[in-house]
Amino acid sequence: MIAHLIARDLKIAFKDRGNLILGFAVPVVLFSVFVLIFGGMARSSGDMDPIRLIVVDEDGSDRSRRMVSHLRDMDALRVRIDHSAEDSEAKVPYTRDTARKAVVEGEVSTALVIPKGLSTGISGHLFVEPDSVPALSLFFDAAEPLEAQVVRGLLQQVLFMSMSDLWALEGIDIMAAELDLGAGTSEQMSTWMQEVFDEFGGLPGAGGTSAGGDSATSDSTATGYALESPIPIDMVDVLGETKKNPIAAMTAAQVVVMFLLFSVMFSAGSILREQEGGTLRRLLVSPMTARQFLLGKMGSTAAFGFLQILIMFVYGWLVFKVDLFRDFPAVLLLTAVCAFSATALGMVIASLCRTYRQIDSIATLVVLSMSAVGGSMVPRFLMPDWMQKIGLVSFNAWAIDGYYKIFWREMGTLQILPQVGVLAAAGAIFFLISSHLFQKRFYT
């Protein structure tokens, strides 16, 4: 009897396509997506894509140039010192301000400023008066803390390499003074050391890791963390420093976009509820056209999604101090376009599905997959480059990028136009597809 019941239940379960998708396809797809994401992240720790670093050399000394050269030699870094001028093809060096702006706008995640007077400031002060040594400034984007830490580690390594002669010579002076070796002995040792530097270009052994390479992000970085930097490094969080709750600003966008998709998908599924309830046929034989019906459904669904996002952000503003009103028109514009685009996508899926149960399964699959690759579950900047590119096919990536720009990078309407344009175009295409599918399906 029990076997009979089991057999019947399994038979029913395997006849239900929605159940099969939800039970088998969704876990398999999500499993694959997460393996790709976390697999990519794990590989990236040993084979990281080069980090883009802007270097501003205000000092302009031989020593600072040597530092820049060492940084350029690092395989783990892609150093940029200049950029195209706004009104010509000519290259102009980054300044402190343009470098900072580049980090704020997300062009790079880190920028290093070697301050003027560094070379003269450090002579004879490395050990005895470290506080008087001018500090390096490392601008970073707190949204990408991992990259900032890696750059800091590499920078410490470069500093040891670039300052090794000064360090050694200064050390000899201190040692000679401590041991009372006399000026002659100290000078002899310094001269010998200088000859070594001249011949090898640095402290023997120090140049062995100058290329950085694969070990740059592991052993060398570990060394960098272990020792104090010979020159102070000011870590400047150019984005998070002004925010009351930077994590909330970032999380809000990720969460809001995923839940928008969920709610919109199921609202779009009300088309199938109308079909199953018989009201759809009644509507379609009224003076209302199929396109009007779709537009009406889109309007109500998008309005609901729009309100949902706004309520989430208002909650974030009230409770987590998300800076909602810094550029509210930009928020409204992006939210409206997101709601439209997500709704149109929902309409395509609703037009493809035959039953509400199918929507349940397929929408879950689509939303979770897009959320995974699009950055709602794991920020895209933590993913490898190729994964980030794949993520661009998702609704989430564009929407989240737009909200990041507003809330995190403090940009305005003009700067989010690429995201707005892509989402609006995708929405228009989705609408045309759903309209075609709907007409084809319901007028036979």
Partner 1 sequence: MTQPPMLHSTGLTKDYGSLRALSDVDLEIFEGEIFGLLGPNGAGKTTFINIATTYLKPTSGTLAIAGLDVLEETAGIKDLLGVVPQEISLYDSLSAEENLAFFGGLYGLRGSTLKTRISDVLNLLGLEERRKDKVENYSGGMRRRINMGAGILHKPRLILMDEPTVGVDPQSRHHIFQVIEDLRGGGATILYTTHYMEEAERLCDRIAIIDHGRVVVCGTHRELVDLIGEQSLLEIGFRGQPEPGVLEKAFPDADLGGDRILIRTKDAAGALPSHVRSLADAGLELASINVREPDLETVFLHLTGRQLRDGGEES
Contacts with partner 1 by CB under 8 A lie at 277-279, 281-289, 442-444
CB of 371 to partner 1, least distance (A): 30
List of residues 6+ apart from 307 with CB closer than 8 A: none
Instruction: Output the smallest distance, CB 286 to partner 1, in A.
Output: 4
Q: What are phi and psi of 79, to 5 degrees?
A: -85, 135
Least Å distance, CB 293 to partner 1, is: 10
User: CA 217 to CA 49: how far, in whole Å?
Assistant: 11
Nearer Cβ to partner 1 (208/299): 299
Least Cβ distance, residue 292 to partner 1 (angstroms): 10
Q: Specify the 3-state DSSP secondary structure of 115.
A: coil
List C-alpha distances in Å: 425 to 120, 340, 384, 395.
56, 10, 27, 12
Nearer to partner 1, 254 or 301 (CB): 301
Identify which of residues 288 and 393 has a Cβ nearer to partner 1 in the complex. 288
If you count them, how many residues does the chain have? Answer: 444
Distance CA 195, CA 434 (A): 77
Identify the CA nearest to 351 among candidates 274, 285, 259: 274
Structure tokens at 235: 């870590």
C-beta of 244 vs 281, nearer to partner 1: 281
Answer yes or no: are the C-beta atoms of 102 and 54 closer than 8 Å.
Answer: yes
Please report, as a single letter, which amino acid is at residue 404. Answer: Y
Of 29 and 283, which has the nearer Cβ to partner 1?
A: 283
DSSP state of 406: I
Residue with tokens 């039953």: 355
- Output the smallest distance, CB 300 to partner 1, in A: 13
Q: Are 409 and 104 within 8 A, CB to CB?
A: yes
Largest CA distance in the chain: 107
Specify the residue, 80 or 297, whose C-beta has the smaller distance to partner 1.
Answer: 297
Rounded least distance, CB 284 to partner 1, Å: 6
Phi, then psi, of 273 in degrees rounded to 5: -65, -40
Least distance in angstroms from the C-beta of 288 to partner 1: 6
Interior/surface letters 234-269, b for 16+ CB within 10 angstroms, e for the rest: eeebbbbeebebbebbbbbbbbbbbbbbbbbbbbbb
Q: How far is the CB of 281 from partner 1 (least distance, A)?
A: 6
**Among residues 205 and 287, whose Cβ is nearest to partner 1?**
287
1 vs 285, beta carbon nearer partner 1: 285
